[in-house]
Amino acid sequence: MSAPTSFLHNVLNPHSVAIIGASENTQKFGGRVMNFILQHGFKGRILPVNPAAGSILGIPAYASIEDAPGPIDVALIAVPGMQLEAAVEACGKARITACVVLAADFAEAGLDGANRQANLVRIALQHGVRLIGPNCLGFINPALRLALTSSVALAVAPMPIGNIGLVSQSGSLMAALISHAQDLGTGFSIAASVGNQADLEICDFIEYFLTDPATHAICVYVEGLKDGPRFLQLAARCRAAGKPLLVVKAGFSEAGARITRSHTASLAGSDAAWTAACHEHAVVLLDDPEALIQCADFLIRFGAPAGDGVAAMSPSGGTVAITADRLAASGLRLADLSENTQRELHQIVPATRPVNPLDVGGLARDVGLTSARDCYRLLADDPDTGVVLIVVATTPQLDAKVRLWAELAVARGKPTVILLTPGALVDSARGILRELHCPFTNRMDDALRVVKAAINYGAALRLLPTTASIPDNFGEVAAYCAPASALTESETKQLLSLAGITVTRDLQVHAAANAVAAARALGYPVVLKLSSRTLTHKSEVGGVALDLRTDDAVAMAWQRIATRLTAVEPASVLECVIQPMITGGIELIVGSRWDQQFGALVLVGAGGIWAETLRDTQCALAPLSSQRALELVRKLRIFPVLAGARGQAGADLDALIDTIVRVSWLAATLGARLAELDINPLLVKPPGQGVVALDARATLYPRS
């Protein structure tokens, strides 16, 4: 399905464009498109197609596409659904390489629509035509003054030219971003909407942007990927090429996922998988579309910050206090300014003022600009400053100060986020920043998003690639053969043992008497657990008895579990396992999931009774190096407990890391067969004492 780059280059940078269903009536798609294409002044050939022929808005029109003189690089089809197939076929005969299809009511509208879409793609392929859409709003190429879209965003001229390549599954969202780019003084190499991605898809555009010299950063709004592995390969190429790739992904919530299905027939995929994949490949994952433009513009202008220290300043004391609070609440780190920087700053501002964030208000007017300049320089040049945040509030000589700060930032290339807190009152400062092509934001939320995204991007770029190598004593897990896909606890533990993971010594028992004998063999205290292929959440059905210390206790527990089983599954015959009762350690969950888009994922988190409640979990693509596994563990909120906070023993991190790596290889080796695996709890004992899988379950499909 991958389109060669040169091919898409011709489509997005056409010499000639046909509008099929062209019209003069701006109430119609074909009318809006004709209007915009003329209004913005496209210099290539424009070929309106309309059965009535004649001319449209002064341009000679053709009754059919076959009548129009070739070669034609791209056609936009603005005819109703029932005429679409014929139009695509005609484009093929006219040797047009690609068509933009605006019409909706395809795969997003249910099964019939999906069939219509499949049929349209089949016809297009038969006739050698590639499709953008359907259910899209076309694209713009501002440098060529080409507005090949029906979006009302193009009612405002001129189109914003710049170095952002945008591809969006939503046309309306593309329109909002075009409007914001105009307001912020930035713009696009190409902004394209791809709707249902029936043929050409987001990855084709990312691939084009990778090779396009005018594109310096790539922004994506995606509801679902057609090809996850291809996306990851392209992300790695973007990273290598130094082109930031920024993504807003919709559908992480349950309600959101329902909507992506009904909007562009996209399957949303999991939040955890996306977060893990993006982190691994330095993709900037954002929650807000406008932030795409703000962050891309910032990274194009300043590149990635060298460190995570933030130095902030404002001429308003109240704003400085709020900035300090908001930075702290966002988890950002204030730069720890050197003594030298502090001393020099205190020659400009009163010694009673803290230096970071810095209140630069109320200084003598006659040295106002000098002070503003010197304060910026001192903050920006401190070795611990990765990003400068300037929070502009009303102050004497505001415009002059903003100009000075922006010029310094741009000249020095120091990552500097400028936030303008007043409204239209300071629009003249906004004009100055647009003119200087210096990025700015208007809300603290946005400023913090940009600071955070830039710092995280820098950190991700500095993450050295690691090589995950298969652990010692990693057995033939691929050969493990389970009698059914829902593995019992014992079967799962056999699989874990093959992978070199320590499990409890479990004895399978079929009667109360066996259980007592087994308990004596293991030595008290013991645990008695229901063994079932169907009831995998054993605690929920009362199938677990902990800390049994006598024969009687074992026999009574057997009876209790038997009664519970009869209540839940009257036909089942009770089987149990007996295990030694092991305490003294911290309970984690370590597991894996197969993700449809990105493949094997490994996860680690707080386990036992805390697993569901705290949702303190980290994920990564499998397999993992030890170094990446440690990074995951360090990101857990409960890490201080593992590390031994406040005089506690802490946990055997080496053994934990080894287990995570082994689980990751299990997941990577078994691939799609291993739908999910949970070791919960994995008891992590104090340093030097290892780990042990107390309970585990898995879903493993047979080899096909």
Shortest Å, Cβ 615 to its own copies: 9
Q: Which of 14, 142, 251, 458 binds its own copies (CB under 8 A)?
A: 251
Please tell me the distance from the alpha carbon of residue 269 to that of residue 12, in angstroms, as a whole number.
Answer: 29
Residues 255-284 binding its own copies (CB under 8 A) are 255-256, 258-260, 262-264
365 near its own copies (CB under 8 A) = yes
Cα separation, 501 vs 510, in Å, equals 26
**Residue nearer to its own copies on the CB measure, 249 or 662:** 249
The total of other beta-carbon atoms located within 10 Å of residue 186's CB is 23
What is the smallest separation between the CB atom of 54 and its own copies, expressed in angstroms? Answer: 25
What is the C-alpha to C-alpha distance for residues 311 and 415, in angstroms, rounded to an integer? 11
CA distance 490 to 583: 20
The encoded tokens of residue 113 equal 């629509």
180, amino acid identity: H
Candidate ranges 52-60, 378-386, 490-498, 610-618; the one touching its own copies (CB under 8 A): 610-618
Minimum separation from the CB atom of position 113 to its own copies (A) = 8
Amino acid in the structure at residue 106: F
* CA atoms of 657 and 654, how far apart (whole Å): 5
**Is 682 within 8 Å of 604 (Cβ atoms)?**
no
* Cβ distance to its own copies smaller for residue 184 or 667: 184
Which of 151/197 has CB closer to its own copies?
151
Which one of 252, 474, 524, 701 is in contact with its own copies (CB under 8 A)?
Answer: 252
Nearer to its own copies, 105 or 551 (CB): 105
Which parts of 147-176 interact with its own copies (CB under 8 A)? 151-153, 155-156, 168-170, 172-173, 175-176
Q: How far is CA 613 from the centre of its chain?
A: 24
- The rounded Cα 224 to chain-centroid distance in angstroms is 11
Long-range contacts (CB closer than 8 Å, 24 or more residues apart) made by 642-649? 642/586, 642/684, 644/687, 649/686, 649/687
Q: In whole angstroms, how close is the CB of 557 to its own copies at the nearest point?
A: 15
Residue from 637, 671, 672, 702 binding its own copies (CB under 8 A): 637
Determine, following the binding rule CB under 8 A, whether residue 610 of this chain makes contact with its own copies: yes
**Does position 334 bind its own copies by CB under 8 A?**
yes
Which x/- pattern over 646-675 shows residues binding its own copies (rule: CB under 8 A)? xxx---------------------------
Distance CA 98, CA 91 (A): 8
**Helix intervals (H) in 242-302:** 254-264, 271-280, 289-302
Residues 123-152 that bind its own copies (CB under 8 A): 151-152
Binding mask 381-410 for its own copies (x = CB under 8 A): ------------xxxx-x------------
Site string for its own copies, 436-475 (x = CB under 8 A): -------xxxx-----------------------------
Return the number of the residue (43 or 537) whose C-beta is nearest its own copies.
Answer: 537
Site string for its own copies, 612-631 (x = CB under 8 A): xxx-----------------
Instruction: Please give the Cα distance from 305 to 294 (Å, whole number).
Output: 15
Residue numbers 558-597 binding its own copies by CB under 8 A: none
* 511 is a contact residue toward its own copies (CB under 8 A): no
Nearer to its own copies, 350 or 523 (CB): 350
Q: Which H or E element spans position 422?
A: none
Determine the 3-state secondary structure of 401 from DSSP: helix
Q: Does 296 bind its own copies (CB under 8 A)?
A: no
What x-and-dash track marks residues 531-550 binding its own copies by CB under 8 A? Answer: ------x-xxxx-x------
Toward its own copies, which CB reaches closer, 260 or 669? Answer: 260
Helix 5-12 and helix 202-211, axial crossing angle in degrees, nearest 10 = 90
Distance CA 676, CA 679 (A): 10
Residues 357, 313: Cα–Cα separation, whole Å: 5
What x-and-dash track marks residues 183-222 binding its own copies by CB under 8 A? Answer: xx------------------------------------x-
Query: Would you state the torsion angle of the CA atoms of residues 464, 470, 473, 478, taken in this order, to the nearest 10 degrees?
Result: 150
- Residue (of 527, 479, 529) closest to 670 by Cα position: 479
Task: Check: CB of residue 457 under 8 Å from CB of residue 299.
Answer: yes
Least Å distance between CB 114 and its own copies? 11
Q: Map the footprint of its own copies across residues 47-106, applying CB under 8 A.
A: 104
